[in-house]
């Protein structure tokens, strides 16, 4: 039996739109609080409807294939003694992107946070306004002896998000959900730009890639309640519908580097 707590429907809103072939139920996050008893009561019906809607849509969503991509023709240089590097990537809601890389071998930490704006505005309620310049991002710490920066990008473009959606990702709309790579040195910039050009030339996506490639000015960790969210709230409707399929696609497409036990921020002791 699936148990669902009121907390697990944190910031979920149902919006309904109609496609040509069938009605589609969308689940999107909004910065709302359900801490009070009154709020929990008001959202009782929403919880049940959103969960049922997510479960109803899940089989079709989970059956969709990930985009199988070629490996980057140009990758970062082989490591020279260093055992840890970082990559900062934005691809919509950080819950799902974090979950994907937490299940990737060679990754030692995947930390949800904000990049692209100022330190003073790196707070969820402010970032959600869409006026801070920040994008919800994930800082991925990895062992370059086990996984390369290019492989990280291959996973990012293949299963972590859709790089052809401009200033949105699925049901979440706004510049804070944009697709962006924040490079930390010239090698990362070169690999990212070359890989985007390679994928566009191969026309592996139906639409052009809109991923931005920007220099990282700063990364600011998100609030504690955002960390490990997909693992801590596996039956939250948004996670069921939007993020669990990403992890399943990682398992199918990148079986050789998939890890069943995620590396969690709380375990790492941030």
Burial class (CB in 10 A: 0-12, 13-18, 19+), 151: buried
Rounded to whole angstroms, how far apart are CA atoms 250 and 20?
Answer: 30
Q: In this model, does residue 15 exceed pLDDT 80?
A: no
pLDDT of residue 270: 58
Q: What pTM was computed for the model?
A: 0.81
Tokens matching residue 82: 């260093």
Q: Which of 9, 47, 90, 93 is catalytic?
A: 93
119: number of Cβ within 10 Å: 11
> Is the pLDDT score of 129 beyond 50?
yes
> What would the two tokens of residue 223 be?
């609030």
Q: What is the pLDDT of residue 266?
A: 83
Integer distance in angstroms from the first to the last C-alpha of the chain? 33
Work out the pLDDT band at 215, boundaries 50, 70, 90: very high
Residue 148 — left, alpha, or beta (φ > 0 → left; ψ -120 to 50 → alpha)?
beta
Predicted local confidence at residue 192, as pLDDT: 98
pLDDT at 231 over 90: yes
* Residue bearing tokens 């409807």: 49
List the domains of the chain with CATH numbers. 6-63 (no CATH), 85-268 (3.30.1060.10)
pLDDT-wise least confident of 21-30, 83-92, 115-124: 21-30
Phi and psi angles of residue 60, each rounded to the nearest 5 degrees, phi first? -65, -40
pLDDT at residue number 81: 82
93 is catalytic: yes
Percentage of residues in the chain with pLDDT exceeding 70? 74
Tokens 């990280």 correspond to 152
Report d(CA 252, CA 250) in Å as an integer.
5
Contact assessment for residue 89 and residue 138, using Cβ atoms and an 8 Å cutoff: yes
Rg of the chain over CA atoms, in angstroms?
18
């Amino acid at each position: 039996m699936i148990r669902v707590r009121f907390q697990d429907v944190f910031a979920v809103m149902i919006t309904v739109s109609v496609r040509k072939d069938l009605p589609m139920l969308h689940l999107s996050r909004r910065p709302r609080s359900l801490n009070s008893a009154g709020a929990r009561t008001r959202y009782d019906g929403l919880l049940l409807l959103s969960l049922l809607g997510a479960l109803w849509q899940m089989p079709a969503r989970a059956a969709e294939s990930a985009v199988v991509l070629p490996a980057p023709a140009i990758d970062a240089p082989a490591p020279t003694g260093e055992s840890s590097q970082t990559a900062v990537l934005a691809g919509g809601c950080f819950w799902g992107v974090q979950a994907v890389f937490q299940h990737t071998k060679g990754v030692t930490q995947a930390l949800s946070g904000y990049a692209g704006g100022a330190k003073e505005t790196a707070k969820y309620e402010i970032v959600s306004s869409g006026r801070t310049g920040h994008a919800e991002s994930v800082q991925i710490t990895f062992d370059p002896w086990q996984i390369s920066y290019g492989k990280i990008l291959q996973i990012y473009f293949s299963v972590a998000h859709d790089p052809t959606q401009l200033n949105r990702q699925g049901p979440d709309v706004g510049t804070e959900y944009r697709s962006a790579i924040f490079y930390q040195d010239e090698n990362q910039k070169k690999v990212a730009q070359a890989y985007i050009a390679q994928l566009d030339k191969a026309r592996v996506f139906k639409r052009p890639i809109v991923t931005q490639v920007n220099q990282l000015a700063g990364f600011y960790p998100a609030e504690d309640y955002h960390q490990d969210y997909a693992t801590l709230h596996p039956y939250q409707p948004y996670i069921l519908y939007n993020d669990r399929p990403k992890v399943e696609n990682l398992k199918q497409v990148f079986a050789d580097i998939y890890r069943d036990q995620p590396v969690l921020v709380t375990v790492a002791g941030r």
